[in-house]
């Protein structure tokens, strides 16, 4: 367990460090220090949150699951109101205080994971039934996701639907109950894709990248060029050409392409390896968690990080259709980073309370398992 937490914290710290360096490298040409300073501010807040959550007992959250979710839902509703919510590129996703922006949907992600984990823990014996197992949680999840969906933020909606679905599966819901809603959701998604000309164009661009490299497929095509010119070891830190306006969002969602261009395959594979390690550690923590709440919570957190990383890297490399999704720990985006670090803190907290390997039933705390998040 100690090895797992150390690896986890090390990987997160490494990704954070790489993220800072790459953020400065990719944004210095047009914004100078601005993004770096903002990201460092959020990161320090995030690290504090990480340490706090890591040192407290995660089981305390059971009592606060509902209030947290209620708070998140209120924020999600508020952001939809004019003059409170802040609009960027047609989507109403942000609160703005002074120079700081905050996405309530990021908080909603964790709140939802905690709520579902609490539910799975509370009703663990009825999870195989239809009403308790699928209907009620689906309604709950559906309500929260609907709020996110109408922002609109389809990416987060799809991500959280997958994460909570995974959690329900692990909680014990039967396949026959979970498959129909998944099919329904997929159909709904397909309809919304076809009805929205921009989304359907993105799909076409993904299927036929060469034909669309000057319009909707431009960003994905340019990102592929960035990876391609990187080669084994990259063009060197700071020497990216594609960041000079050729790849839109090169410091947020598409920062991984700049990593590929400047540092090459070595760095991109190491990043993928780091995510594999984080996911493995997360699942190991879930496997070893001392109670069902812990199992579900760590599953949810791990799935969130893992899915988000897969979707982002898939999009940036052109393996998936274009969908805005930050790469955890690396992309610029303060609220996302804060929530991700808090989630890591929770994982560590669960790891601290994990059961000892041999005495599978007892709840002995491993004294050595207390990590030091300050490492990062």
Partner 1 sequence: MVKRLQYRRLLMLALLLGVAFAGLGYRLVDLQILRHADLQSQARENTRRTFQFEPRRGDILDAKGNLLATSIFVKTVCADPILIGNHQAEVAHAIAPLLQLKEAELAQRLMPRTRQDDKGEIRTNRYVVLKRKVSAETWQKIQETMAQLSFAAEENITSKKEKAFYNDLRAKAIYPDSTDDQLRTYPNLSLAAHVLGFVGMTERTNRGARFLETVGVDGIERTLNSKLSGVRGWRQTEVDRQRRELVYLREQNIEPHDGLNAVLTIDSGLQHILESALADAMQKESPNSISGMIVRPRTGEILAMAVFPNFDPNSPGDNADARRNRIISDMNEPGSTFKIVVVSGALNDQIVKLTDQFDCEHGRFHYAGRSLHDHAAYGVLSTEGIISKSSNIGAAKIGIKMGEPRLYQYIRDFGFGAKTGIPLPGEIGGWVHPVKEWSKVSIAQLPMGQGLTATSLQMAMAMSAIANKGMLMQPMLVDRLQDQDGNVVVKYAPVQARKVVSEDVSRQMIEALKTVATTDGTAPKAAMEHYTVAGKTGTAQKVEKGHYINRFYASFVGFFPADNAEICIYVSLDDPKSNFHQGGQVAAPVFKQIAEKAANYLNIRPDRGVETGLQDVLVTNGGEKTPKAVVSRVP
Bridge partners of 95, per DSSP, are 85, 102
CA angle 317, 318, 324 (to 5 degrees): 90
Residues in contact with partner 1, counted by CB under 8 A, come to a total of: 53
Calpha distance 216→55 (Å, rounded): 46
For partner 1, the binding residues in 268-297 under the rule CB under 8 A are: 268-269, 272, 275-276, 279-280, 283, 286-292, 295
SS3 91: strand
Residue 47 touching partner 1 (CB under 8 A)? no
Three-class HEC string of 343-373: HHHHHHHHHHCCCCCCCCCCCCCCHHHCCCH
**Least Å from the CB of residue 171 to partner 1:** 8
For partner 1, the binding residues in 345-374 under the rule CB under 8 A are: 355
Residue 32 touching partner 1 (CB under 8 A)? no
Cβ count within 10 A of residue 158: 19
Pairing of β 85-88 and β 100-102 = unpaired
**Least Å from the CB of residue 243 to partner 1:** 9
Among 77, 182, 191, 244, binds partner 1 (CB under 8 A): 244
HSE of 105 in the Cβ direction (CA atoms, 13 Å)? 25
Calpha distance 28→291 (Å, rounded): 47
SS3 85: strand
**Least Å from the CB of residue 320 to partner 1:** 9
**Least Å from the CB of residue 328 to partner 1:** 13
SS3 41: helix
Contacts of 309 (CB under 8 A, 6+ apart): 275, 279, 327, 328
Calpha distance 121→248 (Å, rounded): 43
Contact 341, 270 (CB under 8 A): no
Question: Nearer Cβ to partner 1, position 54 or 226?
Answer: 226
Among 313, 325, 343, 347, binds partner 1 (CB under 8 A): 313
Cβ-count burial of 262 within 10 angstroms (0-12 exposed, 13-18 middle, 19+ buried)? buried
For partner 1, the binding residues in 195-214 under the rule CB under 8 A are: 214
For partner 1, the binding residues in 213-242 under the rule CB under 8 A are: 214, 222, 224-232, 241-242
**Least Å from the CB of residue 221 to partner 1:** 9
Question: Nearer Cβ to partner 1, position 53 or 242?
Answer: 242
Residue 330 touching partner 1 (CB under 8 A)? no
Calpha distance 313→326 (Å, rounded): 9
Residue 176 touching partner 1 (CB under 8 A)? no
Calpha distance 326→312 (Å, rounded): 6
**Least Å from the CB of residue 264 to partner 1:** 7
**Least Å from the CB of residue 315 to partner 1:** 10
Helices then strands, each counted (H, E), the chain: 13, 3
Among 80, 246, 356, 370, binds partner 1 (CB under 8 A): 246
Among 245, 372, 374, 375, binds partner 1 (CB under 8 A): 245
Question: Nearer Cβ to partner 1, position 68 or 340?
Answer: 340
For partner 1, the binding residues in 112-151 under the rule CB under 8 A are: none
Question: Nearer Cβ to partner 1, position 290 or 376?
Answer: 290
Question: Nearer Cβ to partner 1, position 97 or 232?
Answer: 232
Residue 320 gets which letter from DSSP? S
Calpha distance 298→132 (Å, rounded): 22
3-state percent helix, strand, coil for the chain, nearest multiple of 5: 70, 5, 25
**Contact positions toward partner 1, by CB under 8 A?**
166, 169-172, 214, 222, 224-232, 241-242, 244-246, 260, 264-265, 268-269, 272, 275-276, 279-280, 283, 286-292, 295, 299, 302-303, 306-307, 309-310, 313-314, 317-319, 355
């Amino acid at each position: 367990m100690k090895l797992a937490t150390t690896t986890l914290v090390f990987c997160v710290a490494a990704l954070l460090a790489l993220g800072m360096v790459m953020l400065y490298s990719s944004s210095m040409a047009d914004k100078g220090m601005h993004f770096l300073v903002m990201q460092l501010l959020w990161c320090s807040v995030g690290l504090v949150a990480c340490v706090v959550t890591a040192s407290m007992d995660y089981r305390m959250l059971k009592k606060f699951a509902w209030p947290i979710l209620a708070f998140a839902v209120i924020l999600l509703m508020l952001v939809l109101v004019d003059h409170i919510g802040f609009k960027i590129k047609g989507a109403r996703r942000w609160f703005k205080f002074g120079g700081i922006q905050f996405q309530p949907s990021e908080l909603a992600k964790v709140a939802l994971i905690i709520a579902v984990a609490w539910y799975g823990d509370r009703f663990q014996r009825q999870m195989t039934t239809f009403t308790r197992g699928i209907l009620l949680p689906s309604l709950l999840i559906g309500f929260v996701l609907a709020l996110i969906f109408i922002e609109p933020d389809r990416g987060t909606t799809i991500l959280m639907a997958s994460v909570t679905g995974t959690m329900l599966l692990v909680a014990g819901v039967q396949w026959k109950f979970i498959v129909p809603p998944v099919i329904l959701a997929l159909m709904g998604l397909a309809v919304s894709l076809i009805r929205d000309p921009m989304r359907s164009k993105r799909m076409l661009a993904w299927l036929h990248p060469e034909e669309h490299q000057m319009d909707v497929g431009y960003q994905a095509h340019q990102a592929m060029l960035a990876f391609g010119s990187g080669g084994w070891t990259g063009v060197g830190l700071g020497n990216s050409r594609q960041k000079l306006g050729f790849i839109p969002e090169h410091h947020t969602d598409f920062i991984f392409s700049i990593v590929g261009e400047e540092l090459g395959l070595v760095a991109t594979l190491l990043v993928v390896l780091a995510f594999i390690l984080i996911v493995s550690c997360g699942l190991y923590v879930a496997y070893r968690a001392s109670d069902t709440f812990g199992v579900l919570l760590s599953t949810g957190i791990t799935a969130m990080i893992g899915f988000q990383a897969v979707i982002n890297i898939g999009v940036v490399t052109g393996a998936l259709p274009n969908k805005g999704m930050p790469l955890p720990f690396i992309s610029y985006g303060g609220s996302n980073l804060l929530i991700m670090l808090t989630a890591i803190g929770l994982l560590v907290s669960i790891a601290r309370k994990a059961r000892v390997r041999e005495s599978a039933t007892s709840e002995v705390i491993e004294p050595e398992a207390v990590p030091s998040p300050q490492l990062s």
